[in-house]
């Protein structure tokens, strides 16, 4: 049995959505972030820290083995559910395009969003730098322009079918919208199109 540890619409939502798309059997275990480690559902509780030393989500437990990092978890789900098409059979070049987009979304597109999170609430107060917020907006706009060149005009990012990359993109733009970044209309529409999928709605109902 697969167990997903997650929190709300955080990065763990990517994995929850992918599990709903995959048809795999799983259990969802909600944890709370930045809460007192004495609370049993806290990601700072010793039980959770023994699974994920950083006290972060998502974590996926597979027969007692723990996998962290949302992209590794998504790829695991895609490989375990080949019929879902989430991670389709690809030639080497398409696979390189897939890896390129996954790396870009994590290293370039989400980083300015996480900068805001870190400098508004996640870092200890004495480590926060308020000026980072303007820099983060600037970096996000640059990443969005670069993404325009990486994506084609299709409804889906890869091979004109829904894959894990579409989950990554939609969840990251949802995050940007919630954090009040300037998101171009076409990416607002991308997010809305993919969040209208039945599996996304089911995942959303679990966390709301």
Ligand X SMILES: N[C@@H](CCC(=O)N[C@@H](CS)C(=O)NCC(=O)O)C(=O)O
Residues that bind ligand X in the complex, under the rule CB under 6 A = 10-11, 33-34, 55-58, 69-70, 122
**Residues 112, 162: contact at Cβ < 8 Å?**
no
Give residue number: closest CB to ligand X: 56
In the bound state with ligand X, the residue whose beta carbon lies nearer, of 102 and 158, is 102
Task: In whole angstroms, give the CA distance from residue 163 to residue 4.
Answer: 20
Task: Give the pairing of strands 59-62 and 26-30.
Answer: unpaired
In the bound state with ligand X, the residue whose beta carbon lies nearer, of 79 and 178, is 178
Task: Give the pairing of strands 65-68 and 59-62.
Answer: antiparallel
Task: In whole angstroms, give the CA distance from residue 195 to residue 17.
Answer: 9
Closest distance between ligand X and the C-beta of residue 19, in Å?
A: 15
In the bound state with ligand X, the residue whose beta carbon lies nearer, of 52 and 84, is 52
Closest distance between ligand X and the C-beta of residue 185, in Å?
A: 25
Closest distance between ligand X and the C-beta of residue 142, in Å?
A: 21
In the bound state with ligand X, the residue whose beta carbon lies nearer, of 22 and 171, is 171
Closest distance between ligand X and the C-beta of residue 180, in Å?
A: 17
Query: Phi and psi for 182 in degrees, rounded to 5?
Result: -75, 110
Bridge partner residues of 26 (DSSP): 2
């Amino acid at each position: 049995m697969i167990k997903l540890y997650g929190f709300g619409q955080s990065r763990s939502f990517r994995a929850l959505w992918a599990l709903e798309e995959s048809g795999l059997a799983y259990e969802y275990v909600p944890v709370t972030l930045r809460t007192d480690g004495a609370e049993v559902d806290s990601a700072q509780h010793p039980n959770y820290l023994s699974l994920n030393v950083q006290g972060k989500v998502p974590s996926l437990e597979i027969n007692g083995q723990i996998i962290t990092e949302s992209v590794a978890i998504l790829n695991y789900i895609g490989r375990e559910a080949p019929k879902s098409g989430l991670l389709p059979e690809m030639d080497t070049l398409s696979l390189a395009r897939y890896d390129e987009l996954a790396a870009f979304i994590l290293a370039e597109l989400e980083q300015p969003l996480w900068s805001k999170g870190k400098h508004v609430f996640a870092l200890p107060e004495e480590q926060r730098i308020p000026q980072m917020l303007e820099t983060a907006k600037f970096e996000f706009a640059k990443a969005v322009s670069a993404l325009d060149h990486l994506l084609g005009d299709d409804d889906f990012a890869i091979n004109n079918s829904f894959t894990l990359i579409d989950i990554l993109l939609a969840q990251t733009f949802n995050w940007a919208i919630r954090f009040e970044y300037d998101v171009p209309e076409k990416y607002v529409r991308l997010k809305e199109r993919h969040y209208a999928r039945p599996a996304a709605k089911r995942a959303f109902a679990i966390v709301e």
